[in-house]
Amino acid sequence: MCGIVGYVGVNPAKQELIDSLKKLEYRGYDSVGITILNSSLDTYKSPGKIADLETILPVDIDGYTGIGHTRWATHGQPTKQNAHPHLSGNISIVHNGIIENYQQLKEELIEAGYEFRSETDTEVIAHLLNSYYQQNDDFHTAFQNTLKRLDGSYAVAAVCDDMPDIIITGKKNSPLVVGLGNGCNFAASDITAFLKHTKDVVFLEDLEIAQVQQNEVQFFDLEGNPIQKKKQRVEWDLEDAEKAGYEHFMLKEIHEQTKSVYNTFAGKLSELDGSINLEELNLTKKQIRNLTRIELIACGTSYNAGLIAKYLFEQLAGIHTNIDTGSEYRYRYPVFCDSDDVLSIAISQSGETADTIAALQSLKSSGCRTLAITNVMGSSITRDADDVMYIKAGPELGVAATKTFTSQLTILYLLAVHFARIRRNIDIEESRNFIKALKKLPGNIQRILNAKDTVRKYAKQFSEVSDYFFIGRYMNYPVALEGALKLKEISYIHAEGYAAGELKHGPLALITEDTPVVAIATSGHTYDKIISNIMEVKARNATVIAVAEEDDNEIEKYVDLVLRIPKTDELLSPILSNIVLQLLAYYTALAKGCSIDKPRNLAKSVTVE
């Protein structure tokens, strides 16, 4: 949520800020603004999109230092007054996060004579910083003292016209990264903001401060003591973050799954001895054998990946597995018999999902070993977890997760088989067969993509309906949930996913002839059961669209339309079924003319509760 960027360099700051903010649009926002240091602070803000801001910007704005922000409203409506940056005297700031004690600070500042012009919690930061600066603190010390007073989460970037070539930034529980360029330096909430200029980055830890200048960046703790930070080089290319001729990022990222799935398992599979090589995992064989429980924590699409993993860990590795949404886990009272034998796995594409991180921290404080599965190097979750596994999917800019979901699943498959082998729950031959099937996934995904015109035709046919149902059994139940989530996210059609056996417990009352039902009917031990559920739906005159395998010659007897996937191992079919449902959601939204990459009210990364 929200996007911060700061720039100091040799190029005019206006265009650099605008270009960087456009790279952060995928995070979701409803207003935008920039401040450029000239002889004074030139600030321009607007509700709406970056294009709306550009209409009010003067053609020529002097200044080579500036900060910018795309805001997702939390306190106050998306108006010009509430948009960032916020000013106080000769200081301008931008902020991501939530200041929990803002009301107390606001009352204190009002009593001191400060006038508030917005409804935001952020404005207290600007006035508080100004108050310390006016007390003869130097700007750096004033910034330190301000951050010490803030409760909650923040990534803050500040400028002062007394120092036209400096940006000061700091963070707590909200992402912030410094980009080290040639003749320019950046501070941003996401590396995509400056990937055009540099791949060299420094990730700030909580309660750290960076002073950014054109040719130098200095780092400090909250007491002002200098600290040494390690430079890292990211693997992503600028081309990875561009559309490459596709109409939308989402379609590009759906097509990239042939590559992203391969990148996730590349170098980790040994077909010769049926082993999985997970060098990045520090769990010993003894620890894996002693596991009695796995706690999965995730939100949204990552939660649906975790639901599939629950089946995998229990069936393959024989480990009792629970799954919770991060936002709920913190507020219940889990019982641990022996936390040394519990592994907590937190799944977050961005590595910045606030609820997931908080749940992980809670589990770690209970003595559980923690593992993070994420796509972003140096993200907050990687610093909290004992172990980290990267899915290596590359940047995903569409708000609706596609390639990161399948890469998350791929990592979870690898983990489950790895655990199963060590715990002797499966033999070498079973593992070899699974690895052979896994290696065929990229080619099977491509075959689905080659047949996307059929999906597009069906999507257009049902694009004007009001409701959709998705049903599945066993591992296809989470696929039904994910299919419904994708459709509602980007097409705004009301969609529900159900375990097919639950239809008779209430949902059948909503089935009519105007309600298309997508049934994931791949082969396996629940195939006959899903056919029975399809018959129940057909008895209510609903149209049934089945997702079935290419060699299933029986399915057409029971359904109206069929979307085909290649034959694969029963455990791997959820990945292929999901590709079809991603395409169904995409082409439905396309037919409706929806904003596919930036759906209303949604953000790519949910960094606040």
Query: Is 239 a domain residue?
Result: no
Angle CA 39–42–47, to nearest 5: 175
Cβ contacts of residue 472 below 8 Å, gap of 6+? 478, 479, 480, 497, 499, 500, 519, 520, 530
User: What CATH number should be reported for the domain holding residue 485?
Assistant: 3.40.50.10490
pTM over 0.85: no
Between 257-265 and 403-422, two packed helices, what is the crossing angle to 10 degrees?
Answer: 30
- DSSP assignment letter at 226: B
How confident is the model over 244-266, as a mean pLDDT?
87
Q: From 234, 254, 285, give the residue that closes a domain.
A: 234
CA 147 – CA 256 distance, rounded (Å): 41
Query: Is 193 a domain residue?
Result: yes
Residue with tokens 């007897």: 557
537-584 pLDDT per residue, tens:
888 888 999 999 999 999 999 999 999 999 999 999 999 999 999 999
Active-site residue, from 14, 106, 452, 604: 604
Task: Examine the domain organization and report whether 491 and 585 are in the same domain.
Answer: yes
Residue 337: pLDDT band with limits 50, 70, 90: low
Residue with tokens 């024989």: 318
Task: Examine the domain organization and report whether 212 and 291 are in the same domain.
Answer: no
Task: Examine the domain organization and report whether 476 and 352 are in the same domain.
Answer: no
State the maximum Cα–Cα separation within the chain, in Å, rounded to a whole number: 82
User: Which residues partner with 564 through β-bridges?
Assistant: 548
Active-site residue, from 2, 160, 368, 594: 2
Residue 240: pLDDT band with limits 50, 70, 90: low
Task: Examine the domain organization and report whether 229 and 277 are in the same domain.
Answer: no
Q: What three-state secondary structure class fits 229?
A: coil
508-533 pLDDT per residue, tens:
767 878 889 999 999 999 999 999 99
Task: Examine the domain organization and report whether 586 and 502 are in the same domain.
Answer: yes
Q: Name which of 88, 82, 105, 84 is nearest 96 in CA terms.
A: 84
Is 2 noted as a catalytic residue in this protein? yes
Both tokens of 39, joined, read 């002889």
Q: From 177, 209, 234, give the residue that closes a domain.
A: 234
Query: Is 477 a domain residue?
Result: yes
Residue that wins the pLDDT comparison between 335 and 559: 559
Which element (helix H / strand E) includes 381?
A: helix 380-384
Both tokens of 509, joined, read 């009352």
Q: Is the pLDDT of residue 366 over 90?
A: no
Domain residues for the domain of 595 are 447-609
Q: From 234, 257, 288, give the residue that closes a domain.
A: 234
Q: Name which of 24, 27, 21 is nearest 44 in CA terms.
A: 21
Is 604 noted as a catalytic residue in this protein? yes
Task: Examine the domain organization and report whether 419 and 491 are in the same domain.
Answer: no
Burial environment of residue 423 by CB neighbours within 10 A (0 to 12, 13 to 18, 19 or more): middle
Task: Examine the domain organization and report whether 386 and 511 are in the same domain.
Answer: no
Task: Examine the domain organization and report whether 215 and 258 are in the same domain.
Answer: no
pLDDT > 70: percent of the chain:
94
Cβ contacts of residue 476 below 8 Å, gap of 6+? 520, 521, 522, 526, 530, 573, 574, 577
Residue 323: pLDDT band with limits 50, 70, 90: very high
CA distances from 205 to 108, 228, 382, 384 (A): 29, 12, 11, 11
Both tokens of 109, joined, read 């500042």
Contact indicator for 81, 117 with CB cutoff of 8 Å: yes
Q: Is the pLDDT of residue 144 over 70?
A: yes
CA 536 – CA 197 distance, rounded (Å): 58
